[in-house]
Structure 1
């Protein structure tokens, strides 16, 4: 996420979902298996709600912290 490329996040979630089992992650996230594949594909553009459901289904939490560094200072 630090790179600012949302596709890297989707790719990473897709990799984790495949390790855990796409079908199980889709069920736990309340999504169809094919919908999950599509959302996390290279041409997908998942909504934030979908990303949050997948993160939760993987047993993960998303945390935000202040950006630190001269380029991020206000």
Structure 2
């Protein structure tokens, strides 16, 4: 009998470089929920209680903001990213000829 283990991305987010790449890949997706899920995974890896403290958001508000289908405000997303130690940067889109 084979034993299965539930995959949890937070278990693998163990360096700044891995976290930044994980968030970049999620941000490049056409699905905004994927980016929020990636932020939630990083938050879990770092500790939700600490993130709530660092952002000034209550834990309940934090969970609501990162829930599937949530539509958090832009300033909330920025607070979360800053507290997680990452920044967003823009670059020109590559257009196909």
**TM-score w.r.t. length of structure 1:** 0.88
Q: Which of the numbers 37, 41, 63 marks the counterpart of 2:63? A: 37
Return 5+ residue gaps in structure 2 as ranges.
1-26
RMSD: 1.2
Q: Distance in 2 between matches of 1:27 and 1:4?
A: 31
1 or 2 for the larger relative contact order (CA 8 Å, sep ≥6)? 1
Question: Which protein has the larger Cα radius of gyration, Structure 1 or Structure 2?
Answer: 2
**TM-score w.r.t. length of structure 2:** 0.68
Q: Distance in 2 between matches of 1:34 and 1:28?
A: 14
Return 5+ residue gaps in structure 1 as ranges.
none
- Per residue, is there more helix in 1 or in 2? 2
1:57 is aligned to 83
2:40 is aligned to 14
1:4 is aligned to 30
- Deviation string 1:11-60 (CA, Å, 9 cap, x unpaired) is 00000001100011111112111100011011321111111100000011
How many residues align structurally? 71
Q: Which of the numbers 17, 28, 31 marks the counterpart of 2:54? A: 28
Q: Distance in 1 between matches of 2:37 and 2:85?
A: 17
Q: Give runs of ≥4 in structure 1 deviating > 2 Å.
A: none
